[in-house]
Amino acid sequence: MNNPSSASLHALLLLSDSALPLGSFAFSSGLESFLGHHKHSNARLQAFDGFLENSIANVASTALPYVLNGYDEPEALQDIDNDFDASTPCTVARRASVGQGRALLAIWEKALASSTVSTAEAQTAATGVSDFVTKAKTSKPDAFGMNLNAHFAPLFGAVCCALGLAAHDTAYLFLLNHAKAVLSAAVRASVFGPYQSQATLASTKLQQWVNDSVRRESGKEVLDAAVTAPTMDLWMGRHELLYSRIFNS
């Protein structure tokens, strides 16, 4: 594990593990609401590909600039977190982001903080995340009622930097994990079975969607972050209007 490339590979496998307790299984990223508007099973299956492609593209355009900004400037996590909160008008999406972000902070504090690599960039990122953990524990609302939120995207970027992952691998992993979470939700919602889910996950089209999104969003500033599939926010926002639901979002 003294080899930097081995440490990076180990961290990559660790953060891509579905057993990592981030709580993503509780969220469907709007899929359950989407399925509620596509009652017929054949129509649901045919429409799912379009949903997944748009979901990946939308997460990339709204969150990936913050992931990469958290990666590049971990010492500014508090400001980046505030900016992300201000740019997330959907209450349901905001709740999911904060829930997973706080879970990642707990994982960092209890399991990952001692596994940072020795490069200057990684140590700066580790300090930034640890400082954020401390502030999150003691933070109180200011005069405007604002508080630290601990959004998932910028914290994920900073944690990946601290563990020695490359920026491109961090971006790819963030979107692939999102796709895995949506596919897991689709299996539990009976859109298809686990084998078809794995076939989609292994497909070249999904790899192309992720690669295209990473290429499109790399180099963008957080001010360039924007919703590119407005219907995704509508699906997420309407989730709480469902008569019955199995996911939190």
151 pLDDT more than 70: yes
Q: Quick check: 157 and 69 in contact, CB under 8 A? A: yes
Cα 73 from Cα 54, distance rounded (Å): 28
For residue 59, the surrounding DSSP H or E stretch is helix 41-72
Cα 58 from Cα 34, distance rounded (Å): 15
Most confident of the ranges 13-22, 193-202, 219-228: 193-202
Cα 143 from Cα 95, distance rounded (Å): 22
**4-241: CATH topology:** Urease accessory protein UreF (1.10.4190)
More confident residue, 159 or 233: 159
Average pLDDT over residues 163-178: 96
pTM of full prediction above 0.85: yes
Q: Kindly write down the DSSP assignment for every residue of 175-210, as one continuous string.
A: HHHHHHHHHHHHHHTTSS-HHHHHHHHHSHHHHHHH
Q: Identify the pLDDT of residue 248.
A: 64
Beta strands in 22-111 (DSSP E): none
Confidence of residue 3 (pLDDT cuts 50, 70, 90): low
Which three-class secondary structure string do you get for 29-47? CCHHHHHHCCCCHHHHHHH
- Domain boundaries along the sequence of the chain: 4-241
Q: Identify the pLDDT of residue 238.
A: 73
Cα 189 from Cα 175, distance rounded (Å): 21
Q: Which residues contact 195 (CB under 8 A, 6 or more apart)?
A: none
Q: How far is CA 26 from CA 13, 22, 33, 95, 139, in A?
A: 22, 9, 14, 11, 26
